[in-house]
């Protein structure tokens, strides 16, 4: 019975959160200073055309009526049509989102593989030189803006040294050469057996992925260090050391499992942040992902894609947070 109540509570919380997100995205599209009707018909359109299009778009109706239509469209998976591309927003998102997903997934994997051991070592060597170096590296990762790192990377490795490819997702000779299956260029090139396209895709991914990974690694390392310091000060660790267990066994078999559950939440929210925060990186590297699509739409007052992309990112945040909470409950018996 308690499990059923917990499930109902989680579902109701999820529904309410998504509803609040839909309300927020609706009013974002209405309070923007740009007029979506003028964006669709142009500034020089006759007033009769403007009024007709405004009526067709339902913008002449009261806000509560517009919101009802908006919710009805969301429930049917309709996010409207883009003025720029003339496509359904859902179609555009399905085309652009895999590129962002590819960047974020590669970045979180690298960040976790490097950041978690660094955080553990920093906690074990608290106050020593290694700890100080790791903390400075993490501080730099948090302090330097992403766009500065991205521009410096392009300047050094592409413009000066010439060892990295230029902006974009692939060289022009490989464009439209790989059949799209998953939308992930590295995966699709492997499925097609085109290893030249695969190497080219990896080369173009390297700079934006490493910058996003560095930014995420700084946060993951700091959180891991904090969690491990708390774990290493526990009485069960003192008991394990008193029994004569090796330092490696104490750290990885006793202390680390107690913080691994907490790291699930950190990794989930960091991953969601990468899906959202790749906007700047994608624009610097001309990466054709959701961030560039969102920015281009916003600059051209194309509000349907802006609202749709915002809703997608917000829903991703909510769902990953709920997934992390579920895993937390499953893995940590103390929560039960």
pLDDT at 335: 53
CA 153 to chain centre: 21
- The pTM of the full predicted model, rounded to 2 decimals, is 0.82
pLDDT lower than 70: segments of the chain = 1-4, 6-7, 10, 29-43, 56-59, 276-277, 331-336
pLDDT at 117: 92
pLDDT at 107: 93
CA distance 122 to 218: 12
Q: Which backbone phi and psi does 77 adopt, to 5 degrees?
A: 70, 25
CA distance 163 to 152: 14
pLDDT at 164: 82
Which residues 6+ apart lie within 8 Å of 9 measured at CB?
none
pLDDT at 213: 92
Q: Which CATH class is domain 89-146+209-331?
A: mainly alpha
Give the length of the chain: 336
CATH 1.10.3720.10 boundaries in the chain: 89-146+209-331
SS3 readout for 61-81: CCHHHHHHHHHHHHHCCCCCE
């Amino acid at each position: 019975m308690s499990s059923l109540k917990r499930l109902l509570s989680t579902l109701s919380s999820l529904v309410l959160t998504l509803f609040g997100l839909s309300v927020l995205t609706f009013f974002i599209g209405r309070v923007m200073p740009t007029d979506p009707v003028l964006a669709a018909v142009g500034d020089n359109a006759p007033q009769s055309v403007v009024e007709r299009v405004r009526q067709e778009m339902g913008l002449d109706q009261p806000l509560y009526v517009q919101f009802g239509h908006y919710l009805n469209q969301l429930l049917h998976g309709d996010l409207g049509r883009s003025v720029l591309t003339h496509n359904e927003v859902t179609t555009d998102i399905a085309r652009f989102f895999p590129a962002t997903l590819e960047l974020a997934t590669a970045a979180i994997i690298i960040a976790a593989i490097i950041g978690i051991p660094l955080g553990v070592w920093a906690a074990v060597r608290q106050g020593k030189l290694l700890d100080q170096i790791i903390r400075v590296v993490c501080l730099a990762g948090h302090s330097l803006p992403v766009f500065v790192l991205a521009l410096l990377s392009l300047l050094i490795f592409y413009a000066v040294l010439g060892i990295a490819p230029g902006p974009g997702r692939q060289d022009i000779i490989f464009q439209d050469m790989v059949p799209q299956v998953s939308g992930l260029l590295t995966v699709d090139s492997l499925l097609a057996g085109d290893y030249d396209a695969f190497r080219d895709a990896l080369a173009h991914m390297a700079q934006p992925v490493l910058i996003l990974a560095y930014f995420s690694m700084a946060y993951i390392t700091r959180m891991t260090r904090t969690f491990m310091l708390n774990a290493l000060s526990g009485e069960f660790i003192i008991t394990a050391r008193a029994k004569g267990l090796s330092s490696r066994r104490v750290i990885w078999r006793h202390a680390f499992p107690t913080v691994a559950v907490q790291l699930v939440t950190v990794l989930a929210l960091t991953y969601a942040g990468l899906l959202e925060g790749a906007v700047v990186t994608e624009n610097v590297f001309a990466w054709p992902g959701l961030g560039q699509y969102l920015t281009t739409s916003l600059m051209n007052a194309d509000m349907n894609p802006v609202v749709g992309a915002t809703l997608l990112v917000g829903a991703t945040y909510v769902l990953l947070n709920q997934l992390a909470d579920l895993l937390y409950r499953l893995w940590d018996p103390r929560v039960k």
